[in-house]
């Protein structure tokens, strides 16, 4: 399989030479192949299938999967770099790759049996998009108030219920689905199941018409007596809450990377614009007031980037990263909204039109403070650790 990536040892602070070369390769791909299609995909609310194929061919959809199973065999930090670079051009592509790597594949590599890994990881590395199905209409921030049920019938489990707001819902053929096998036990009854598209009774429902990241599908999933074999339990029965919590902690770093990339993309467009746009006989970028705003944005982006990189390095080093992941997502997502908004301002009336990319990035930024844990939930996580 052709790939852009290779295994590398992370530097302690800055990027290694190998990481820089890889980052540039992903950036070149995003600029050449994704950028020309970004607005078209946004308007159509549809991911270009050819781009998904390219992402697989370049090894960007199986970054942490071992090479022996068809993946790239790189580390979590590499996933973060990929998401950041892709999101500079289109955060919809960024989140597709993010969910695949930081949620789905991480859940498999951490919790799956050897047999499950042997069966599913080669699929995820080569041609199968994955999705992570936790949220429901009545369980948002309270992620474990699940109404989706799983009952045992002989050796199998039978799933009934709905999932909502599932990223990659249309593109995915493999789903990690959380259901409660014993509601009387509360969160202790939650179990993770591996569900394949095509299983009888499983359908994709309504696709959401969203403010931003519109090329990324966000759908309802419907389970009507879906029979799942016992060997498709991911982790142990009743341990789904642990699978979810630990995977989401990693996923939040990926969302932080998406937001850093988005903000950097908006700033890059704006720097180019203020160098060219003239008012009062000179480029607006020559005015000190504009320069100060650019400097503030660059500083905020760098702060977010360092928070994200630090959390990713800690994760790869096997050190605690719960607080750092929450801080990274909290700061990066709120920063991205501020930066994207100011970039609109600096574009003036043009920024309010779809002719310039900052309008789309402004819309895309809003989701960062909502999915994979709202800003208030991140603050609660950080405060709980402080109060121990």
Catalytic annotation present for 372: yes
Question: If you search the block for the tokens 């194929």, which residue do you land on?
Answer: 53
C-alpha to C-alpha distance for 111 and 323, rounded to whole angstroms: 22
- Contact between residue 91 and residue 116 where contact means Cβ atoms under 8 Å apart: no
Out of 171, 250, 334, 372, pick the active-site residue.
372
Closest CA to 336 of 379, 377, 307: 307
The DSSP call for residue 306 is H
What CA–CA distances, in Å, run from 362 to 339, 343, 344? 9, 8, 8
For the chain, the residue count is: 388
C-alpha to C-alpha distance for 71 and 120, rounded to whole angstroms: 12
- Contact between residue 61 and residue 100 where contact means Cβ atoms under 8 Å apart: yes
Residues 6+ apart with CB under 8 A from 108: 116, 117, 120, 121, 124, 234
Question: If you search the block for the tokens 């045992």, which residue do you land on?
Answer: 152
Residues 6+ apart with CB under 8 A from 88: 27, 30, 261, 262, 264, 265, 268
Query: Which residue numbers are catalytic?
Result: 372
């Amino acid at each position: 399989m052709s790939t852009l990536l290779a295994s590398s040892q992370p530097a302690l602070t800055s990027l290694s030479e190998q990481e820089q070369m890889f980052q540039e390769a992903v950036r070149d791909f995003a600029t050449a192949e994704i950028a020309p299609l970004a607005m078209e995909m946004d308007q159509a609310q549809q991911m270009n299938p050819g781009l998904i194929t390219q992402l697989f061919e370049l090894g960007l959809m199986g970054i942490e999967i071992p090479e022996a199973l068809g993946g790239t065999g790189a580390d979590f930090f590499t996933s973060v770099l990929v998401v950041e670079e892709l999101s500079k051009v289109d955060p919809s592509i960024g989140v597709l790759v993010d969910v695949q790597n930081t949620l789905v594949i991480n859940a498999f590599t951490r919790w799956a049996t050897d047999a499950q890994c042997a069966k599913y990881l080669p699929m995820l590395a080569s041609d199968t998009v994955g999705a992570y199905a936790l949220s429901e209409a009545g369980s948002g921030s309270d992620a474990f108030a699940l109404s989706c049920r799983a009952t045992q019938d002989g050796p199998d489990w039978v799933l009934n219920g709905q999932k909502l707001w599932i990223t990659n819902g249309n593109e995915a053929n493999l789903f990690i689905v959380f259901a409660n096998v014993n509601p009387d036990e509360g969160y202790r009854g939650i179990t993770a199941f591996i569900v394949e598209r095509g299983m009888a009774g499983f359908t994709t429902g309504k696709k959401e018409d969203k403010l931003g990241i519109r090329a990324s599908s966000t759908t309802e999933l419907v389970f009507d007596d879906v029979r799942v074999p016992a060997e498709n339990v991911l982790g142990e029965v009743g341990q789904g809450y642990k699978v979810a919590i630990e995977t989401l902690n990693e996923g939040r770093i990926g969302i932080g990377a998406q937001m850093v990339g988005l903000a950097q993309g908006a700033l890059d467009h704006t720097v180019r614009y203020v160098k060219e746009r003239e008012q009062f006989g000179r480029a607006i970028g020559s005015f000190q007031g504009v320069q100060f705003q650019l400097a503030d944005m660059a500083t905020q982006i760098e702060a977010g980037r360092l928070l994200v990189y630090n959390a990713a390095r800690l994760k790869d080093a096997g050190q605690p990263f719960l607080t750092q992941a929450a801080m990274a997502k909290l700061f990066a997502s709120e920063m991205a909204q501020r930066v994207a908004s100011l970039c609109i301002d600096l574009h003036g009336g043009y920024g309010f039109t779809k002719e310039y990319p900052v309008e789309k990035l402004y819309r895309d930024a809003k989701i960062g403070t909502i999915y994979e844990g709202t800003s208030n939930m991140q603050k609660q996580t950080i405060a709980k650790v402080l109060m121990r």
